[in-house]
Amino acid sequence: MGDMNEGVGRASGGRLRPPGPTTRRIPAEWVSSRPRAERARQLADVLRQRITAGAFPCGVLPDERLLGTQLGASRNAVREALGLLRDEGLITRRRGVGTTVTTSKYGHGLDRLAGLAETLNGHGTVTNEVRVAEVVTDPPPAITERLELPAGTAVLHLERLRRLDGRPLSLDTSHLPAEVGRGVLRGDLTGRDVFALIEETTGCLLGRAEVTVHAVTADPDTAALLEIPVGAAVFAIERLTRLSDGRPVDVESLRIRADRMALHTTLHRERPFLAG
């Protein structure tokens, strides 16, 4: 005869122990061994890439349920990912309106030597506020060294606040040899790229540039000029541009709003070396 209390355990001392809770089946797609924060971060990466690529041309994202279906994720994970993008300032979320892209990100290719106005042609009007334009007779040694000039050689110091459709996009600082810079000063610094002015002044095409990109936070002065919060993410680009004959002609330091610009390039893998 079977035990009347089958399925009911016995605690020490012979006392009956109540049965455990009934096991509930959870759909496999709702379960992940990865921490929830990690899943949210990865979903945010996917959504950020789609926003940058222009996947939502009207600027409005689908609701959480539809995004979850498209991305194979739970609604809670999607909600957390959208929260991360909202904290970045990339999107806004309002009841009755939904999730909208705050501002479009524009692509700036790193595999082509081009000025900002040239890069953003067709995306809006680029204007330049000239903040500094002066020939410096005693520049920092680090500048003359990079320009391969004798110490104490005069250079042009140029700083411009660049706007796209009236909104700040970047703060650009350049140092050029004075013999080139004086010709650049005669050009239209408010409406044209420095690269084009350099080529006109020298009669020589630009050849190549050495570029380093850093991720930094905005200091108070940069934040005020770019109209972003202090500590916001900024791309810091250091670039040394050379003429086609190899002469260094422009040492630049650029601070670009990371919420308005995405840097991209196309990389090619070289044929691997095979030992003979």
Fold of the domain spanning 106-264: Chorismate lyase (3.40.1410)
Q: With CA atoms as reference, report the closest residue to 254 among 179, 195, 183.
A: 195
CATH topology classification for 35-101: Arc Repressor Mutant, subunit A (1.10.10)
Q: pTM value?
A: 0.66
CA 116 to chain centre: 15
Q: Tens digit of pLDDT for each residue in 149-189? A: 999 999 999 999 999 888 899 999 999 999 999 999 999 99
Please provide the average confidence, as pLDDT, over all residues in the chain. Answer: 81
- Give the pLDDT of residue 11: 46
Ranges of residues in the chain whose predicted pLDDT is under 70: 1-34, 103-124, 264, 272-276
Give per-residue pLDDT as tens, 120-149: 555 568 889 999 999 999 999 999 999 999
Same topology between domain 35-101 and domain 106-264:
no
Q: State the pairing for strand pair 91-94/106-109.
A: unpaired
Domain boundaries, the chain: 35-101, 106-264
